[in-house]
Structure 1
Amino acid sequence: MSKKLLLGIIVILIITNIASLTFWNSEEQPSGSEEDEGGPAINTKEPVATIGEDEITYENWMSSLRSNHGEKQLKTLIDHRVVNQMANDKGIEIDEKVIDREVSMLTAMQGVMTEEEYDKAQEGWREDIRYRYQLEMLLTEGTEIPEGDLQSHYQTYGNQYNVTPSMQLSHIVVEDEETANKVKEELDSGASFDMLAQEYSIDEETRDNGGYMGYIFTTSQFFPNGYKEKVAEMDEHSYGNPFAVGNNYAIVYLHKSLPAIDFTYDEMKPYVKSELAMHELDQTLTADPLWDELDIEWVYGE
Structure 2
Amino acid sequence: MKKYEVLKAVVILQAVCMVVLAVVVVVKVWPWQQPLIGDGAQGNEESEGVGEKDGNHSPDKGQIVARVGGEPITMAELQAELHKQYGENVLRDMMLRKAIELEAAKSNLSVSPQEQTRELEAMAEGYESEAEFYSVMQEQLGLSKERLLLDVRYRLLFEKIVVRSIDIDDNEVEQYIAEHQDEFEPREQLHLQWILTETEQQADDVLEKLIEGEDFAMLARTYSQDSFTAEYGGDLGLIDADDPFYDSEMMDTASRLQIAEMAGPIAVDGGFAIIRLVERRMTTSMTEDRLKDAVRKQLALEQAGPMNEQEDMLLAKYNAVKNE
Pairwise TM-score range, normalised by the shorter structure: 0.3 to 0.5
- More helix by percentage: 2
What is the TM-score normalised by the length of structure 1?
0.46
What is the TM-score normalised by the length of structure 2?
0.43
